[in-house]
Amino acid sequence: MSKKRDAHDVIRAPAITEKSTRGAEHNQDRHRGVRDASKPESKAAGEKLFNVKVKAVNTQVRKGKMKVFKNIRARQTDTKRAIVTLEEGHTIDVTTGL
């Protein structure tokens, strides 16, 4: 049984990239989230934090890579990214803080 999470625990940070900027033209927002968060949790967190109406949520899981730094091999952690499609007329300004 999963415990109830706060909206700030589900959404970690906005994913500000060229691709996410292009998605903003189509009422989409991208943010990094908790690895084991579900789509309904991401939807509820987005609606609560940003006061918008969410139409759909798609998620991507990026597997962690092996990296070498000063001859030390380490594996990066897996990350999850949520692509949130907003209803018409709703926008999220990522330049303002929460």
| pLDDT tens readout for residues 33-89 | 888 888 999 899 888 888 889 999 999 999 999 999 999 999 999 989 999 999 888
Q: Please, what's the b/e burial string for 3-39 (b: 16 or more CB within 10 A of its CB; e: otherwise)?
A: eeeebeebbeeebeeeebeebeeebbbbbebbeebee
pLDDT band for position 4 (cuts 50, 70, 90): confident
Is the pLDDT score of 98 beyond 70? Answer: no
> Which of the pair, 25 or 41, is modelled with greater confidence?
41
What's the pLDDT at 1? Answer: 44
**Domains of the chain and CATH, by start:** 7-86 (3.30.70.330)
What's the pLDDT at 31? Answer: 87
What's the pLDDT at 95? Answer: 63
Cα(16)–Cα(94) distance, rounded to whole angstroms? Answer: 8
> For the residues 1-26, what does the mean pLDDT come to?
80
